[in-house]
Structure 1
Amino acid sequence: MKANRSLMKKDERAQVGIGTLIIFIAMVLVAAVAAAVLIQTSGVLQQRAQATGQQATQEVSSNLMLKSIEGVRSSDGTNLSETSDLLKLKVALNIGSSDIDLNQVVITVSDGTTTNDLVYAGNTKTYVSPMTGLNTTNATASVIALLEDETANIGDNGKYFFTVEKIRDEDESFSQESPIMNQGDLVTIYISTAATASAANTAVGDLTVADLEPSGLTINPRASFTILLTPEAGSPTTAEFTAPATYGVDTNIALWP
């Protein structure tokens, strides 16, 4: 009888083992789900960190560098105007700067009384249409249009636009249709500062215009002037200057630095 009782003895260890196994499997599944969530979250954070880092680097490093500002007086063939009627800004990129699309640059110019916010003459997104008279193959023709032509829907060209002419472009990446500057490029930005309309003053430096249209700005001798160049990304560039006490008989006047 004792032998039979020993054979009939219950053993519950297997049931305890199955419960432990179930708990272990559940813990593994929970850990796997948590790991998957952490991996996904870390991936998203890494992508955002990289994007933020790139944007921060671009904001810090990308900016335009002004080399010089020159004023040009208009003439009727005999007498020079008392004001500087055209500004020529020589501009390059700062060291380490990313490429800059001048189509997205806004130039704010102020004589203390009037302020004009200017965009590139070929810009199609800011105003109704690009500047009237814009010539995509001849930068000089575009400068003449900046000084003389009126834009039908918004007023004078000189109040709303600037034009650009390349000086140095080793890789030939810059064009009037796609004015993108990269390292090593040097361009001249033209800004109209004609004070009054004049059909007589047809000579502006080496340029010949049909008539001179006003920009609303005035740069007399001793006048203070401010220029702010704001790119799409990066730090803005500011230049402030005071015109010389007299222009004398000079057609071109060095205004800055």
Structure 2
Amino acid sequence: MNSPIHALAGVITEKFAAADPAAAARALESLATHEILLLIGPLKAQTIVACLNPMNPPKAAAVLRRLPLRQASYVLARLEVPQAARLMKEFSVPYRERISAALEPAFVKLLADASAYPPDSAGRLMNTDFVAVRTEAKLSALVERLKSLPRRKLPAACFVTGKDGELRGVIRTAELAFYTPQSVCGSVMSPAQPLNPQDGAEKAREAFVKAETDVLPVVNEKGVLLGVLAREELPSQPDKKPFWKRLAD
């Protein structure tokens, strides 16, 4: 007799999960944790991230706990910040301490602060899956790093930081071809228009228009780069037309 695993094994593949992570998450949620682990074992890390982001937090936390610690910390650090914060709350205290030790201290603090950010704020909507390089790095190293990413994960912009993670500037990926490989990132970067985690959606929309970009960095009070916010992640604007006008349309 076919088990749920046998029925889904031919469906939940790398291609399916990457193409429709929400559907994959729903299918996985219907299974026992050990069955989910059998299915996601062969998947790439970024596909596991895509599946866990929309998954019910208790189920996602149960799956993450059973991954090797190094893999679990890698995946957790690339989840959307609100989801990662929810998963941290689901972990037992001993496991939370173990995985926190494997994460960057700044990220652990970010997750602790995330629940305090207002709804629809940059802090709630941002993600931490971005490419950042130090000011002294050569462009050749950045290009090699980008080559290792899947085409669909190629960022529109890469961010330049100082030694303590403070945001210094931005390099648009499309402009890399105009510079020599030996150029230093700090010498070719452009000024960046950052958001604060508490900034609301309306302020973020204004910043996107002003900066003429589709992705903006989010920094804390010390200017340290926390994450990035994509324009597409902003909630849709309510229709402000008068009721009679909407009826006429």
TM over 0.5: no
TM bin, normalised by shorter chain, reads under 0.3
The structure whose RCO (Cα within 8 Å, separation 6+) is larger is 1
Larger % of helix: which? 2
Q: TM-score, normalised by structure 2?
A: 0.22
Structure with more of its chain in strand, by fraction: 1
The structure that has the greater radius of gyration is 1
